[in-house]
Structure 1
Amino acid sequence: MDILRISDLRIGFTVHGFSRDVVKGVSLRVPAGKTVALVGESGSGKSVISQAIMGLLPRAGAITGGEILFRDPLAPDTVVDIAALPPEGPGIRQLRGGRIGMIFQEPMSSLSPIHTIGNQIEEALLLHRPMPKPEARGLIEAMLKRVGFKNPQRAFGLYPFELSGGLRQRAMLAMALICQPALLIADEPTTALDVTIQAQVLDLMRDLQAEMGMAILLITHDLGVVANMADEVVVIFHGEIMERGPVEGIFRHPRHPYLKALLKASPHFDMQEGERLVALREARPRPAVARAAPAPAPRADDTPLLRVRHLRKTYVTGSRSFFGKGTLTTVKAVDDVSFDIRRGECLGLVGESGCGKTTVSKIVMRAITANSGEVVFDDGRERCDVLTLQGEALRSFRQRVQMIFQDPVSSLSPRMTVMNILREPLVIHDRGGPAEQRERVKALMQDVGLDVRYLNRYPHSFSGGQRQRIGIARALALDPELIICDEPVSALDVSVQAQILNLLKDLQAERGLTFLFISHNLAVVNYMADRIAVMANGRIVELAPRHVLFNNPVHPYTKALLRSVPFADLDRKLDFKLAAPTGASDDRQWGDAFRSGPDDAALTQLPLGDGHYVLARPNADARELVP
């Protein structure tokens, strides 16, 4: 029996009097108890279809044709055409949140910041199943426990900002499932999560699906998640279905060129040295004009471009009352971190959210101040201690280190045109006159594959990938020697991600750039980095060349991260039960060799050969360190 059957669905949007079809005759089905994955790029119409099913289309959008037939297992003889229901009538309200639940992509913006988790779930429950509040609280606490909250009584009274990303997503799942829906729509439910947390959330969805017998419509662009979760796959492009079928056929025998291109655009661990991602559309169609990087002065020794030693940063959280009482907690965000970045290389820095990756990058950029440690920048002409720079010396240093940010939307001013955004660094640092600056901006646009005719546009008129290219152009404006890439592709589709990664590699080769590449996506880091540092709980727990780290991981945390990566390969399915069930950063699971003992034995970086280091006790048994 099909819980949901969509036939020839057409959805149009009217903007400024002009009508445009965004969903063009889509047909798909979701069988009872099965998971159907709807796969495609941003703008393909995936989320619009989910909004139509939930009756949540924006005012500018309307269903212009077709059917959305919902058959409730509790009343199998009754079929409801959601497309024919009034948008805000009692019919759709009864289904939405009751018999059809939904998990949204970004839990922080989907949850109310001024209401507790318990209040929000209670509202959803009482709307569809009126009951006394004490009984409702009991049901809610039971559901919070089922979705993984260790203390559901305490979780009931917490606000969303007090929860991590993974726990917020679990709270969203509890809200969607509290009324035991027949159909769960999951719209990119794990896009912003680390691989270990993603594995936990996906495993939880599978368990609850088996327990409650519900069907799942999974909307995603991550083919690794699709291979591990879906029974059937529907591939959509520009509002039209390109290919559909069982997951076996889709992955083993793809037929449509678009699906084949999507599979080739995803970075994976089996890529050969020098192999390039195959982007659907290259970011830079015309060949670049190679620019020679400024040659450093010759040196007798092989001094690294950036040398970081014993970096520490702590934060004090909590509150203090008027009389000096209260609870204050010291959090070690960065705890004795040391590494080098050589000229022309890409050092990958990986780890879960909250491990301290971004804090390290902000200290190097002098955006925040370290408690202690040393950061030395040596470009072959001048050597400076970054943490002691002041005034004009600090201003001069900022030209040599630039940053590409994670979110291309919030990192670009909505009030400035692209011309002004790219000119701003040149104006601040007095690089040439107005005419020279405009010529430089045009050259930067060509370098990142954008048409110079776009210079008078504002950021909102660009796609996510184009906005990220503007961010890259801005970072290149001052010809820096080191670029810090902080999750530069985590918000992008696979196809756009391939464009940006290829572009960064090309620019590195042409300009002799050095990268510190921060990410939680191990496949992306594997594609970009020469060496990789793995960070957990504020410390670097393992550091090695890329091929050594992925072939012979030693630290339990590194192994847990690798076990949690979903491959777009049916022959290497993820074992959800082994993928860090208690969290990869829980050092109680690491073993005695990798954590301080009862005698507070200090941990140190032990060399394993071939540039491979692991954080362990100096007196650890060598057998425990064998991969």
Structure 2
Amino acid sequence: MQDVGRAIRPETRPPGTDGLRTDVLRTDVLRIEDLHLSFATHGQLTEVVKGISLRVPAGKTVALVGESGSGKTVISQAVMGLLPRNGVIEAGRILFADPAKAGAGVDIATLPRDGRAIRKLRGGRIGMIFQEPMSSLSPVHTIGNQIEEALQLHQRKPRREARRVTEHMLGLVGFRDPHRSYDQYPFELSGGLRQRAMLAMALICQPALLIADEPTTALDVTIQAQVLKLMKQLQAEMGMAILLITHDLGVVANMADEVVVVYRGQVMEAGTVDDVFRRPQHPYLKALLKASPDFDMKPGERLVALREVAPVLPQSLARREITANTPPLLSVRNLRKSYGAKNNRVVAVEDVSFDVARGQCLGLVGESGSGKTTVGHMLMRSRSADAGSVVFNDGTGPVDVLALGEAQLRAFRPRMQMIFQDPVSSLSPRMTVLDIIREPMIIQNRLSDTEQKRRAMELMECVGLDPRFLSRYPHSFSGGQRQRIGIARALALNPDLIICDEPVSALDVSVQAQVLNLLKDLQSSLGLTYFFISHNLAVVHYMAARIAVMARGRLVEIGPREAIFTRPAHPYTRTLLKAVPLPDLDRRLDFASCVPTGGASDPASWPEEFRPAAPGRLGLIDLGGGHCVLADAGCTARDLTAA
């Protein structure tokens, strides 16, 4: 890889060389040269990293970009000395040069995996933020204990001094009350705070190199913006280098100085962030850029998936005809849900009302904890509502979903199905794909065994999977394939409405484009109706004709897609839009203003029109064209437009 410009993957590369000038080499904290990694399975070696070379200069951020399975995480594990036991470094060097120590660096590839040398580097001079903070933090130890443990392993300090340093680091990464947070457990923290705790643990020893493996994948846009801003600030203060592993090109555009694009264990293209975004050369990089949804897409424009799925529609699934003046398929009014003891109730959903038109997609966006998923589960009756009504009307007569008895609800279930957020945990590992797709038909006593198997085969073709895979188990499929199995299961009973709860949040951008295109094709071909829940505004912009925005349990704005994205009225909606990292170097995030100090959903940061002092004064104000915003009932549309 060259120190300036870009490098397109050559057919051959001389071992141990990367074309860097000697004066540049002295500034590199990490340099990987012609790395070959393999895994031993059933007595054979399978190569997964095939001669990758890259560098991470001191004080700079290098982004390692690619799909799942491209080798990104394996490379980070090799740098940290955390390869699985069956992982083998067959060739190449991993050179780490600590700026705090003069002289030659160390080749991590040659260090014993459990030796003292690598343990001294790991967590001390090289820190790492893992992708999933909940599974990376011990549930039985406090946040303070876990961060302090990392400090004591590398810098022995008296107990009181160690706690002081730990609380100081918690304050640096944005905990409002470090002293109290020290004694909290991971389950008591939100996803954003858990990720901040991971950041504190990685930085407590002030490392020279920070490896961030998908640090913001599962976070809302506002929390993501806060974490990215924090990483930039701490990098400037500590002068550390960052190796950022991600598939989000918006994050890359806002964070990286240099970019390395990998595919199936090989470098496809590398160079400065300006070169990679403004002058992409390799077809794979161009395809990744086209697969990312953005706000500039025109109506009807499709994402360009790397591997398109062409649905073969089952003959047994009926297409719904949509006529003019059809009543809404779903009408929700004054929905309410609260949790907790009688004297300490927490309101999760408050006075939520909306309609979902037949054959359309309504998108629901908001931060984690805003009540989005709770609304979806109340529509499905998997959670009970405290108050409100949910009326389903497919043309055969209105059905009050919340009033259905047990037998009636069982008979109604096929008309409304759900696609879940996590394609791994939502599929039973003990069931074959055939059993998973047949299960709804068996429960509802639909079709004979032969017809069920035939429909399962049709549904596999419908979602772009080979019917011969029906005898396999979920673990043998990729994340995108598992999500398509979930879609097939949701279609098994030929529903009218599908609730999509963050269906692509766990997927790479290329696989995400594939699944989104499939959902749109199914909607147009079968006349399906979607209620699409997501925190990704670009995805909702691509999928939904109407969009509802939720904050702290209430709908704060609802309207047509164009109105929400071009004329947002509520300050919360505006903040969400400002916090979206776009894969565009000319529209980078303004970290100084994109997220208010108290958080996007903090009413204290909103103008007075949107936070009336008297309780009960809030109401939806019609701005025209089906665009409504939650504000003081005494305000007019002109007042709010001016605000």
- What's the TM-score once normalised by structure 2's chain length? 0.94
- Structure 1 residue 263 and structure 2 residue 289: aligned? yes
1:203-237 deviations in Å (ceiling 9; x for gaps): 00000000000000000000000000000000000
- Structure 1 residue 531 and structure 2 residue 585: aligned? no
Q: Distance in 2 between matches of 1:623 and 1:433?
A: 62
The equivalent of 1:310 in structure 2 is: 334
Q: CA deviation at 1:29?
A: 0.2
The equivalent of 1:28 in structure 2 is: 54
- Structure 1 residue 364 and structure 2 residue 379: aligned? yes
Q: Which amino acid aligns with 2:246?
A: T
Q: Distance in 2 between matches of 1:21 and 1:392?
A: 55
Q: Distance in 1 between matches of 2:491 and 2:312?
A: 18
Q: CA deviation at 1:287?
A: 8.1
- Structure 1 residue 491 and structure 2 residue 515: aligned? no
Q: Distance in 2 between matches of 1:89 and 1:117?
A: 27
Q: Distance in 2 between matches of 1:231 and 1:109?
A: 30
Aligned match for 2:101, one of 75, 81, 86: 75
Q: CA deviation at 1:144?
A: 0.6
Aligned match for 1:508, one of 523, 527, 530: 523
The equivalent of 1:238 in structure 2 is: 264
Q: CA deviation at 1:600?
A: 2.4
Q: Structure 1 residues 263 and 295 mapped into 2: Cα distance closer, same or farther (>3 Å)?
A: closer
The residue correspondences of 1:119-518 to structure 2 (distance < 5 A) are 119-284=145-310, 292-295=318-321, 302-316=326-340, 329-518=344-533
The residue correspondences of 1:506-585 to structure 2 (distance < 5 A) are 506-582=521-597, 583-585=599-601
Q: Distance in 2 between matches of 1:234 and 1:226?
A: 10
Q: Which amino acid aligns with 2:450?
A: A
Q: CA deviation at 1:625?
A: 3.2
Q: CA deviation at 1:577?
A: 1.3
CA contact (8 A) 1:262 1:280 kept: yes
1:490-515 deviations in Å (ceiling 9; x for gaps): 00000000000000000000110000
The equivalent of 1:623 in structure 2 is: 639
Q: CA deviation at 1:289?
A: 6.8
CA contact (8 A) 2:556 2:570 kept: yes
The equivalent of 1:321 in structure 2 is: none
Q: CA deviation at 1:290?
A: 10
The equivalent of 1:38 in structure 2 is: 64
Q: CA deviation at 1:602?
A: 1.5
| Aligned-CA RMSD value | 1.4
The equivalent of 1:61 in structure 2 is: 87
- Bigger mean CA offset, 587-596 vs 339-348: 587-596
**Secondary structure of the corresponding residue to residue 544 of structure 1:** strand
Q: Distance in 1 between matches of 2:642 and 2:494?
A: 43
Q: Which amino acid aligns with 1:604?
A: G
Q: Distance in 2 between matches of 1:257 and 1:291?
A: 37
Q: CA deviation at 1:601?
A: 4.7
Percent of residue pairs identical: 66
CA contact (8 A) 2:326 2:358 kept: no
Q: CA deviation at 1:292?
A: 4.8
Q: Which amino acid aligns with 1:181?
A: P
1:305-344 deviations in Å (ceiling 9; x for gaps): 1000000000016xxxxxxxxx952111000000000100
The equivalent of 1:114 in structure 2 is: 140
Q: Distance in 2 between matches of 1:601 and 1:382?
A: 34
1:418-466 deviations in Å (ceiling 9; x for gaps): 1111111111111111111111111111110100110100000000000
**Secondary structure of the corresponding residue to residue 278 of structure 1:** coil
Q: Distance in 2 between matches of 1:210 and 1:290?
A: 60
Runs (5+) with no aligned partner, structure 2: 1-26
Q: CA deviation at 1:475?
A: 0.2
CA contact (8 A) 2:318 2:494 kept: no
The equivalent of 1:320 in structure 2 is: none
CA contact (8 A) 2:144 2:184 kept: yes
Q: Structure 1 residues 290 and 398 mapped into 2: Cα distance closer, same or farther (>3 Å)?
A: closer
Q: CA deviation at 1:141?
A: 0.7
Q: Distance in 2 between matches of 1:124 and 1:78?
A: 26
1:253-305 deviations in Å (ceiling 9; x for gaps): 00000000000000000001100000000123768879652447x89x54211
Aligned match for 2:603, one of 587, 599, 608: 587
Q: Which amino acid aligns with 1:60?
A: N
Q: Distance in 2 between matches of 1:575 and 1:294?
A: 46
Q: Distance in 1 between matches of 2:447 and 2:199?
A: 55
Q: Which amino acid aligns with 1:345?
A: Q
**Secondary structure of the corresponding residue to residue 578 of structure 1:** coil
1:393-429 deviations in Å (ceiling 9; x for gaps): 1111101000000000000011110111111111111
- Bigger mean CA offset, 433-442 vs 556-565: 433-442
CA contact (8 A) 1:532 1:544 kept: yes
Q: Distance in 1 between matches of 2:259 and 2:136?
A: 27
Q: Distance in 1 between matches of 2:313 and 2:29?
A: 51
CA contact (8 A) 1:554 1:626 kept: no
Q: Which amino acid aligns with 2:530?
A: F
CA contact (8 A) 1:306 1:342 kept: yes
CA contact (8 A) 2:312 2:462 kept: no
Runs (5+) with no aligned partner, structure 1: 318-326
CA contact (8 A) 1:290 1:511 kept: no
CA contact (8 A) 1:227 1:570 kept: yes
The equivalent of 1:612 in structure 2 is: 627
Q: Distance in 2 between matches of 1:288 and 1:351?
A: 35
Q: Distance in 2 between matches of 1:376 and 1:46?
A: 47
**Secondary structure of the corresponding residue to residue 577 of structure 1:** coil
Q: Distance in 1 between matches of 2:187 and 2:271?
A: 40
- What's the TM-score once normalised by structure 1's chain length? 0.96
Q: Distance in 2 between matches of 1:233 and 1:95?
A: 25
**Secondary structure of the corresponding residue to residue 434 of structure 2:** helix
CA contact (8 A) 2:502 2:533 kept: yes
- Structure 1 residue 7 and structure 2 residue 33: aligned? yes
Q: Which amino acid aligns with 1:415?
A: R
Q: Distance in 2 between matches of 1:292 and 1:316?
A: 43
Q: Structure 1 residues 281 and 595 mapped into 2: Cα distance closer, same or farther (>3 Å)?
A: same
**Secondary structure of the corresponding residue to residue 211 of structure 1:** helix
Q: Which amino acid aligns with 2:166?
A: I
Q: Distance in 1 between matches of 2:634 and 2:227?
A: 38
Q: Distance in 1 between matches of 2:615 and 2:483?
A: 46
The equivalent of 1:324 in structure 2 is: none
Q: CA deviation at 1:580?
A: 1.3
Q: Distance in 1 between matches of 2:615 and 2:447?
A: 57
Q: Distance in 2 between matches of 1:313 and 1:61?
A: 49
Q: Distance in 2 between matches of 1:225 and 1:444?
A: 35
Q: Distance in 2 between matches of 1:340 and 1:89?
A: 62
**What count of residue pairs does the alignment treat as equivalent?**
615
